[in-house]
């Protein structure tokens, strides 16, 4: 699940901010921190594809604990595409 808000202050600085929430229902602390690290890395590597000036919040669901990096990356990018967060002139 992904939420976002456009933040004019971030747009001036050409940055995005990300928040990641993983419930205890997803797994123990090792599993929850792994998901956070993976999602953070996905955004770090794909930052150029996102519009600037966004505050983005990702809420990981239980299914995330059973996914590997590529599946999580595909899910995040698909959500970003569906919400219109990707730059128009870039395509992957």
- Tell me the pLDDT tens digit for each residue of 9-59: 777 778 889 999 999 999 999 999 999 999 999 999 998 898 888 899 999
CATH number attached to the domain at 2-83:
3.30.230.10
Phi first, then psi, for residue 88 (nearest 5°) are -70, -35
- Tell me the pLDDT tens digit for each residue of 61-74: 999 999 999 999 99
Q: Domain segments of the chain: what residues? A: 2-83
Q: Give the 3-state secondary structure of residue 87.
A: coil
In this predicted structure, what is the pLDDT of residue 89? 60
Residue with tokens 């995330």: 64
Cα separation, 87 vs 59, in Å, equals: 22
Cα separation, 31 vs 27, in Å, equals: 5
Q: At a CB cut-off of 8 Å and minimum separation 6, what does 92 contact?
A: 46, 49, 77
């Amino acid at each position: 699940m992904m939420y976002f808000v456009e933040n004019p202050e971030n747009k001036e600085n050409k940055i995005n901010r990300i928040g990641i929430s993983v419930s205890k229902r997803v797994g123990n602390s090792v599993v929850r921190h792994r998901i956070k690290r993976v999602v953070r890395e996905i955004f770090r590597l794909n930052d150029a594809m996102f519009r600037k000036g966004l505050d983005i919040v990702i809420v990981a669901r239980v299914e995330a604990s059973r996914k590997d990096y590529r599946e999580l990356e595909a899910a995040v990018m698909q959500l970003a595409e569906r919400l219109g967060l990707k730059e128009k002139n870039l395509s992957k």
